[in-house]
């Protein structure tokens, strides 16, 4: 069929003007810009979220948590160990104090037991406040002749556990205590012309012609006392030096360990043995609690001993004039010098001991008395 020539031609859409094109382009750009801003906002939020996750992920890391757990466990274990150590130390301290109290009342005499308990308080060997208060109340209210007193169970040996004293010959020649031991000997006290001595003690030279020993080594009941100082050389040969009596100074502490008073005897010895054997320097200071010590001593016989490297040979308590130590000594060793571990100075004069501790008079309580009588003779040398 042919088209009708009279029909109107198809309508042609209007062509948009330039303004309309510009406005549509602006609208498109605005939508594009808005989409870009939204994309950037989403990207920023995603970045912030990842940043927060990254910050928290370290705290949540299994490795980090394991490290923190191990650290906390170590701290907890350390605290527990420290607490247990402190409790164990306190328990040992209480047991030691109780042992000292029991030793002090093993006298068979209530009055002597009370004196010994008073010494414990004065010397600071009891530190538990409740025990101190009870002891003070007991001693204040006690009537003479009353109170606890255990029977004496054996001699006070002054050896605590394994005997750590060794023969002086077994100490290395260069050891300073061995060198100082040349000035240490035995003080023998006789009654008149008796062959057997009434008293055997250790003693040591503090000047060319002066020696120090324990105060009670000179028995006060001897009618005609006679004394000599015996030195033994490296070949085991003995040389005897007469001692001048009465003593220049004699301070006795009876009964032993009942008070914090000095106990020693200062004696003049003839022949000035210190000129050849040397003499020892008395410290002018107090020993420190825990300070390592050494001892050179004689016991009942002729053998000389030394305690030089024992871990428990230390000062455990220091009083005004006396101090407590843990060095092995033994019968006959009263009057022995107690050295600083390096052997350079004498810190004390051993008096005696129980099964738990030894007692010594501080050297600085003796030094001033020695200076009053030191002769200063030429040739004497200090060790």
Among 20-24, 43-47, 158-162, 257-261, which is the least confidently predicted range? Answer: 257-261
Output the pLDDT for position 255. Answer: 45
Rounded CA gap, 44 and 260, in Å?
A: 84
C-alpha torsion sign, points 372, 374, 377, 380 = negative
Average pLDDT for 69-78 = 78
Output the pLDDT for position 116. Answer: 76
Strand partners, 329: none
Average pLDDT for 295-307 = 90
% of the chain surpassing 70 pLDDT = 83
Return the number of other C-beta atoms located less than 10 Å from residue 178's C-beta. 20
Average pLDDT for 272-291 = 94
Q: Is 60 exceeded by the pLDDT of residue 9?
A: no
Output the pLDDT for position 155. Answer: 46
Output the pLDDT for position 56. Answer: 59
Output the pLDDT for position 379. Answer: 38
Rounded CA gap, 328 and 65, in Å?
A: 55
Q: Which domains are assigned to the chain? A: 65-141 (no CATH), 183-277 (2.40.10.10)
Structure tokens at 137: 């109340």
Rounded CA gap, 131 and 291, in Å?
A: 26
Return the number of other C-beta atoms located less than 10 Å from residue 237's C-beta. 8
Average pLDDT for 262-291 = 94
Average pLDDT for 94-120 = 72
Tens digits of residue pLDDT in 120-158: 777 777 778 888 888 888 888 888 767 776 654 444 467
Output the pLDDT for position 14. Answer: 66
Output the pLDDT for position 383. Answer: 53
Average pLDDT, the chain: 81
Q: Rg for the chain (alpha carbons), in Å?
A: 45
Output the pLDDT for position 154. Answer: 44
Q: Count of alpha carbons within 13 Å of 272, Cβ hemisphere only?
A: 11
% of the chain surpassing 90 pLDDT = 36
Rounded to a whole number, what is the largest CA-CA distance in the chain? 180
Average pLDDT for 368-374 = 87
Tens digits of residue pLDDT in 221-268: 788 899 999 998 877 789 999 999 999 999 876 444 556 788 899 999
Rounded CA gap, 169 and 165, in Å?
A: 12
């Amino acid at each position: 069929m042919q088209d009708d020539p009279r029909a109107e031609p198809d309508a042609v859409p209007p062509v948009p003007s330039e303004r309309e094109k510009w406005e549509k382009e602006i609208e498109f750009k605005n939508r594009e810009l808005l989409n870009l801003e939204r994309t950037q906002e989403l990207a920023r939020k995603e970045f912030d979220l990842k940043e927060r996750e990254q910050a928290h992920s370290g705290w949540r890391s299994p490795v980090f948590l394991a490290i923190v757990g191990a650290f906390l466990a170590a701290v907890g274990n350390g605290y527990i160990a420290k607490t247990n150590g402190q409790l164990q130390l306190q328990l040992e301290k209480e047991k030691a104090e109780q042992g000292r109290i029991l030793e002090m009342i093993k006298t068979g005499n209530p009055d002597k037991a009370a004196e010994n308990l008073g010494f414990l308080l004065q010397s600071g060997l009891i530190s538990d406040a409740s025990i101190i208060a009870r002891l003070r109340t007991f001693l204040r209210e006690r009537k003479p002749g009353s109170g606890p007193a255990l029977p004496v169970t054996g001699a006070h040996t002054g050896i605590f556990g394994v005997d750590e004293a060794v023969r002086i010959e077994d100490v290395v020649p260069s050891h300073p205590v061995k060198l100082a031991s040349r000035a240490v000997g035995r003080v023998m006290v006789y009654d008149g012309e008796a062959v057997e001595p009434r008293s055997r003690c250790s003693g040591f030279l503090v000047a060319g012609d002066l020696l120090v020993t324990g105060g009670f080594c000179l028995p006060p009941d001897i009618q005609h006392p006679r004394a000599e100082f015996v030195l033994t050389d490296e070949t085991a040969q003995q040389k005897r030096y007469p001692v001048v009596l009465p003593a220049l100074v004699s301070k006795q502490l009876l009964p032993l360990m009942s008070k914090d008073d000095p106990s020693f005897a200062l004696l003049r010895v003839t022949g000035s043995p210190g000129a050849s054997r040397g003499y020892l320097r008395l410290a002018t200071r107090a020993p420190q609690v825990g300070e390592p010590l050494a001892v050179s001593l004689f016991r009942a016989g002729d053998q000389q001993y030394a305690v030089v490297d024992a871990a428990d040979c230390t000062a455990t308590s220091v009083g005004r004039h006396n101090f407590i130590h843990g060095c092995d000594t033994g019968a006959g060793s009263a009057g022995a010098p107690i050295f600083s571990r390096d052997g350079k100075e004498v810190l004390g004069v051993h008096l005696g001991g129980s099964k738990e501790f030894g007692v010594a008079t501080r050297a600085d309580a003796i030094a001033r008395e020695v200076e009053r009588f030191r002769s200063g003779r030429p040739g004497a040398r200090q060790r």
